[in-house]
Structure 1
Amino acid sequence: MGESATKTDGVRAQRRERTRRELTRQARLLTMEHGLNGFTVEELCERVGVSRRTFFNYFHAKDDAVIGHRDDTLDEQALTEFVNARPSGATGISSTLMPDLVALAVASIPFDDEHLDDEPNPEMLVEREPQLLPKFMREGAELERRMTGVIEFREGLEAGDPRAAMAVQLIGTLVRASAARYFAPGSTTHFGALLVDSLDAARALFSPTPEGTE
């Protein structure tokens, strides 16, 4: 009975997550089509197939739906795997920290999913509605703080250790650079491959080949 209830709870949680993500996706599409003030919550709900009451179970206002929720940015299973991936016996910063962050980003950012092509990215939304920028920035800052804490925990670092914050800044830069290449006209390479390539390029900068060697 307990196992059955746990499975049921898991299915419900997945359903709630799908509904929340779809509300954000459709809110972003409507914003690009009509502007933030060009559609109503009721019209958004009709697109998704949920009630107005359901909408307010997830978001306080229409622009909150457009921004989304920072918890949507991280795949929780992948986050757990990231924390547990630290090599046993490692001391200090583990050698797999950055590759494991890349794996977490690939799992959490579904750039290769079927819905990606029709979903506007934050840059497009801000260009359409500049007043969204402060909210996107606040959500981004909260996500960075959360990830910094996760890295501190995984790596056994003291709170405020600058290396954890630097790792978050670096993976963010790599993700943005890879996303720009992914969305470039004519690009056919998967996001994950581009992100790994970006990490390799960063490594080459930090560990250049000595002069006179190949």
Structure 2
Amino acid sequence: MSTAERTRALRRRMVAEARRAVVDGGLQGFTIEKLCERVGVSRRTFFNHFASKEDVVLGIELNADTDMLAAFAAGAVVPAGLAPLPSVIALVIEQLHVAGIDRADEALVRRVFEREPALTARFLSATDAQIAKVADAVRQRFAWTDPTDPRARLVSEAAVGVLRVSAGVYFADDFDETSGPRFDELLDTNLRLMTAAITTPDQEGTL
């Protein structure tokens, strides 16, 4: 296992333990010290990966995708010939390949929000900050240098829409992983549907 893989595994373990602790006893039911003890790391190690107790519960990692976004902005990570929106969806798929995706973990997240609905505001704030980072990377990749040009933000928000709709299908309680499409396949299909819907007058919505 590489250093990067060990780091991701450690982060996933800390996040999972923190979420289980919240479900069991609420956000105030555990401390960073208790979490570190359960995972077997020091406080210093914890703060190398997460800024706060709330962030570890939400899986908001410090500098988790900085290198990938920088490489994307420079024209790497995904094929150079892709248009802006497909390039962002390809970036999301690449991130999923690195981080993985787990339906059981998503169910745990829902239980966390049910137990601590106040965390929703922090999650939405972090999501908006992430969208802004992606928009900056898109702006650099496609040389949209005018600060008043809204295209990078529009592309990033559109990608979030594709991601949200795809997640709604994939994480539904009645979704069958054995027969249903992979998440990246859902993303690709919904991207094509969206592209067709906004570029053709076809009322049937065919591809």
Contact 2:49 2:61 in 1 (8 A): no
Q: CA RMSD in A?
A: 3.1
Q: Deviations over 1:157-185 (max 9, x none)?
A: 02231111000100001101101101121
Q: Identity of counterpart residues, as a percentage?
A: 28
2:104 is aligned with 1:118: yes
State the distance in 1 between where 2:17 and 2:106 align: 10
Q: Return the letter of the residue paired with 2:80.
A: R
- CA 1:210 to 1:133, structure 2 compared with 1: closer, same or farther past 3 Å? closer
Moved more, 28-37 or 115-124: 115-124
2:43 is aligned with 1:56: no
Matches within 5 A, 1:7-156: 12=3, 15-67=6-58, 68-69=60-61, 71-72=63-64, 74=65, 76-77=67-68, 80-81=71-72, 83-84=75-76, 85-87=79-81, 96-109=83-96, 113=100, 116-120=102-106, 123-156=110-143
Q: Which of 165, 189, 195 is 2:153 aligned to?
A: 165
> How far is the alpha carbon of 1:31 from its aligned partner?
1.7
Moved more, 142-151 or 201-210: 201-210
- CA 1:54 to 1:78, structure 2 compared with 1: closer, same or farther past 3 Å? closer
Count the aligned residue pairs: 194
Contact 2:32 2:43 in 1 (8 A): yes
Contact 2:163 2:187 in 1 (8 A): yes
Q: Deviations over 1:60-98 (max 9, x none)?
A: 4321211322643x48447625733333xxxxxxx5222
Moved more, 39-48 or 170-179: 39-48
Q: Return the letter of the residue paired with 2:160.
A: G
**5+ residue gaps, structure 2:** none
Q: Deviations over 1:26-53 (max 9, x none)?
A: 2123222332122232332233221234
> How far is the alpha carbon of 1:14 from its aligned partner?
5.2
3-state SS of the aligned residue for 2:118?
Answer: helix
3-state SS of the aligned residue for 2:200?
Answer: coil
Q: Return the letter of the residue paired with 1:101.
A: V
State the distance in 2 between where 1:112 and 1:140 align: 17
State the partner residue of 1:177. Answer: 165
State the distance in 2 between where 1:167 and 1:126 align: 28
> What is the TM-score when the length of structure 1 is the normalising length?
0.75
**5+ residue gaps, structure 1:** 1-10, 88-94
- Computing the radius of gyration from Cα coordinates, the structure with the larger value is 1
3-state SS of the aligned residue for 1:130?
Answer: coil
